[in-house]
Amino acid sequence: MKIININDAPAQAVTMEGAAHVTKRLPIGKADGSPSFSARVFTLAPGGYTPYHEHAWEHLNYIIAGKGELLDADGQARPLQPGDFALVQPGEKHQYRNASATASFIMICAVPSEYE
């Protein structure tokens, strides 16, 4: 069993091409013995965004704080706010963006452990 406060998981800058002003925390993952899923927490600072990309695995997202957008495969921006869940299917092109000029956008992103 593991219990960790999100503030105790180190924040690392996301350095993927096409990303800006994003940090990632990994409070629970493979190293903790999680057999199926890893829980990551992404913080997008004002002006922040993830790459517009796709991959072979699904991810499940829960919005913790802030206002954001999820750009879908058709290029349509869908609004996100605290309490929203989002499912991105394998192979579905997507991008997360912070929609606020003053506050961070924070979300949990669960993925299969092998893709953490």
User: What's the pLDDT score for residue 42?
Assistant: 98
The candidate with the shortest Cα–Cα distance to 43, out of 29, 22, 62, is 22
6 φ, ψ (degrees, to nearest 5) = -55, -35
User: What's the pLDDT score for residue 2?
Assistant: 94
User: What's the pLDDT score for residue 115?
Assistant: 85
Please state the three-class secondary structure of 50-106 as a single string: CCCECCCCCEEEEEEECCEEEECCCCCEEEECCCCEEEECCCCCEEEEECCCCCCEE
Mean pLDDT value across the chain: 95
Instruction: Report whether pLDDT(116) > 90.
Output: no
pLDDT in tens, 27-83: 999 999 999 999 999 999 999 999 999 999 999 999 999 999 999 999 999 999 999
pLDDT in tens, 88-99: 999 999 999 999
Rounded to an integer, what distance in angstroms lies between the CA atom of residue 90 and that of residue 112? 11
Q: What percent of the chain has pLDDT over 70?
A: 100
Count, residues in the chain: 116
pTM of the model: 0.94
